[in-house]
């Protein structure tokens, strides 16, 4: 693979700190998502790296799961089960 393609591929890898920043969560939460394999990752040396497309797939799954949950659990004003 030509060097310029390798550089482009490397730019698409996110560190755990990058992942935390992108998701707006702390490093502990980011590492938890990686260790639980909720977001796929790979080891590069001693570091965990995430492909951008894997982060985007996780976000899409989360969006769909949330949307579906909301559709199945409609909120109504005065609903006493919300207290």
Reported as a single tens digit per residue, the pLDDT across 54-75 is 999 999 999 999 999 999 988 8
CATH architecture of the region 3-72: Orthogonal Bundle (1.10)
Cα–Cα distances (Å) from 64 to 17, 22, 31, 77, in that order, read 25, 19, 23, 24
pTM of the model: 0.72
Report d(CA 27, CA 20) in Å as an integer.
6
pLDDT given for residue 76 in this prediction: 78
Average predicted confidence (pLDDT) for the chain: 86
What pLDDT is recorded for position 10?
55
């Amino acid at each position: 693979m030509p060097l310029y393609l390798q550089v482009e591929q490397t730019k698409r890898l996110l560190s755990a700190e990058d992942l935390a920043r992108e998701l707006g969560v702390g490093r502990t939460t980011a590492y938890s998502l990686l260790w639980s394999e909720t977001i796929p990752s790979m080891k590069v040396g001693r570091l965990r790296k995430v492909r951008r497309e894997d982060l985007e797939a996780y976000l899409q799954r989360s969006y769909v799961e949330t949307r579906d949950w909301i559709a199945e659990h409609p909120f109504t004003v005065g609903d006493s089960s919300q207290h």
